[in-house]
Chains A and B, each alone.
Chain A
Amino acid sequence: MTALSQIVVLAADEHGETAQNPLIPANYDILWSTVIFLIIVVVFMRVILPKLQKVLDERAELIEGGIKKAEEAQSEAAAALEEYTAQLTEARAEAARIREDARSEAGQIVSETRESAASDAQRLVETAQKQIDAERQQAIVSLRTEVGALASELASRIVGESLKDDARQQRIIDSFLDDLEAQVSSEKAKG
């Protein structure tokens, strides 16, 4: 500052006239300075800077929005993955359960089928047995009748005497047959 004022003083001396002090503003200097600076301040603070700031804010918002969106997408993807994994595990467990059920059911069916087949066979055998018994009984009855008739015929021919007396005849046959039966059963018991 001292250097500057020295220059000023020197300059004034050289010219030999009273130069204006450059550190004291002239009135017109103040007037024009105020006008020009006011214009700049008003235009910048009212028009230009708000416009630029709006764009900057928009950009910041856009970037923040983008980051947020990406984060959301990422968390969504993670959630989906978790869900899918859970579902997959569940599906596997279900499949295993179904397989197990099917296996046990199959076993049951086989055993049931086997049982019913066995009972059917049993029943068939029983029926056949009963039929055989009935037929044998029938054969015995018819045989007894025929054998009696044949035997009496034979005996009458041999004896020459008609054994027409039914009652006596029947009595003889029956006792014969009883003897025969007894004989057969004793033989059977022996055999």
Chain B
Amino acid sequence: MANLALGAATTAAAELAADDGDTTGLFGWLFYSDGFHAPTVEEFFPPAIFGEGTIFEFNRIMLARVIAAAVLILIFWLVARKAKVVPGRGQSVVELMLDFVRVQIVEQVMSKENAKRFLPFLTTLFLAILAFNITGVIPFINIAGTSLIGLPIIMAIWVYVLYLAVGVKQHGLGGYLKLSLFPPGVPKGIYVLLTPIEFLQVFILRPATLALRLAANMMAGHLLLVLCFAATQYFFFEAAGAMKAMGTVTFAAGFAFTLFEIFVAALQAYVFVMLSSVYINMAIEEEH
């Protein structure tokens, strides 16, 4: 569990090393501290690994994303490569996940034919979000790939474009606009109120909330973990006397929040994909 703090500390350590440069070996670096550092938003803007200041700037969070993507693809490719009709243990776990997305999310929302049509993308989306989220609690990575707003925005835009395209394809441009901006079964006068709200909903709020919900959850989770473990580090190695005991409390909290973050990682993937299915379904359904 100390590793979790370590990851968070890496960024700080990089700065510290640049500042002082007189840390004595690994041990000194590991337990070096110059007072309590509360986590800041700088957590999400770590120093660049290369390409600083350019559009190709590559930092720790990008690395976390690359690792998450590589591991995800590797695992699934290994399973898919030798997938058999009678599944082994690994294949069963993978199939369990695919079935979860299909049965618990997509088929709960859509009809089976529609589900079949959108299942590949929604499954990919679920697995990708789960992989990017879970890096937040993986030792030495310790930051969720989705905690920087860019990736959630890309995924939300993808869903946004998908449901708009599907809606226009299903109902025609006018038909889709009419269906989404002037929902049927409402007295005419209400449209004065309803249409602006629906416009906001369909064209701005849905993708915005998708991206923000995911990013904000992951940011908050990361800040919580960093806070807990930074405090633990401080209490154990710097605070005097009885204050050291406080470290156990913060450590226990950090442990609990780590478990909670695993849950949140899965929950946010579930919520994102569930809402995406709902939005797509709203676009293809005749009336809603």
Contact = CB atoms under 8 A, between A and B. Distances in A.
Given A23-B149, A37-B128, A52-B98, A1 B212 contact: yes
Given A11-B42, A31-B55, A39 B69 contact: yes
A28 B56 contact: yes
Nearest to B150: A29
Contacts of B1: none
B124 A30 contact: no
Of B45, B128, B149, most A-chain CB atoms within 10 Å = B149
Contacts of B85: 55, 58-59, 62
B230 interface: no
Contacts, number: 140
A172 interface: no
B81 to A, nearest CB: 7
Contacts of A55: 83-85, 87, 91
Interface stretch (B105-113, B152-160, B245-253, B261-269): B152-160
Of A4, A24, A48, most B-chain CB atoms within 10 Å = A48
B57 interface: yes
Nearest to B75: A48
Nearest to B51: A28
A28 B121 contact: no
Nearest to B123: A49
B220 A14 contact: no
Contacts of B235: none
A15 to B, nearest CB: 6
Contacts of A49: 80, 98, 120, 123-124
A146 B123 CA distance: 145
A67 interface: no
Interface in A1-46: 1, 3-4, 7-8, 11-12, 14-15, 19-20, 22-34, 36-37, 39-41, 43-45
Nearest to B145: A36
B40 A15 contact: yes
Given A36-B66, A48-B80, A52-B95, A7 B149 contact: no
B62 interface: yes
A25 B127 CA distance: 23
Contact of A47 (B44, B77, B87, B158): B77
B150 to A, nearest CB: 3
Instruction: Report whether over half of chain A's contact residues are helix, strand or loop; otherwise say mixed.
Output: helix
Contact of A32 (B65, B77, B98): B65
Contacts of B148: 22, 25, 29, 33
B154 A33 contact: yes
B150 A30 contact: yes
B153 A33 contact: yes
Given A1-B216, A4-B219, A49-B80, 7 more contacts: A22-B215, A33-B154, A37-B158, A40-B128, A44-B73, A45-B121, A48-B76
25 contacts: A1-B216, A3-B220, A4-B216, A12-B41, A23-B149, A26-B45, A28-B55, A31-B56, A37-B128, A37-B151, A37-B158, A40-B127, A41-B124, A44-B73, A44-B120, A44-B123, A45-B120, A49-B120, A49-B124, A52-B80, A54-B83, A55-B85, A55-B87, A58-B85, A62-B85
The 8 residue pairs across chains A and B that have the minimum distance between CB atoms: A29-B150, A11-B40, A28-B57, A33-B151, A25-B150, A51-B80, A44-B124, A33-B150
